[in-house]
Amino acid sequence: VGNALNKNPYGAWSCNDERMVPCHRVVNSDGRLGGFALGTEAKKMILEKEGVQVKADKVVQFEEHLHRL
């Protein structure tokens, strides 16, 4: 999923409308941030702006934020 979203033309950094795909919300299955086209620090900043706490590049209380498909 992350590799496909790496090519996302509608990322949080590129548009601010209904077309935006929130690829910054995709993290590893253990809560680690993983990759991001703009780098880990940018991903952390966006997540924290949305109210998600990140410590040592890992989502704090990951299970509370986890959405299973």
In angstroms, what CA-CA distances link 21 with 6, 36, 60, 61? 11, 13, 23, 23
> Are the C-beta atoms of residues 21 and 52 closer than 8 Å to each other?
no
DSSP 8-state code for residue 32: B
Per-residue pLDDT of the chain (69 residues; tens, 9 = 90+): 556 556 655 555 555 666 666 788 889 999 999 988 889 999 999 999 999 999 999 999 998 888 777
In this structure, what token pair is assigned to residue 19? 């077309």
Residues 31, 37: Cα–Cα separation, whole Å: 18
Kindly report the pTM of this predicted structure: 0.72
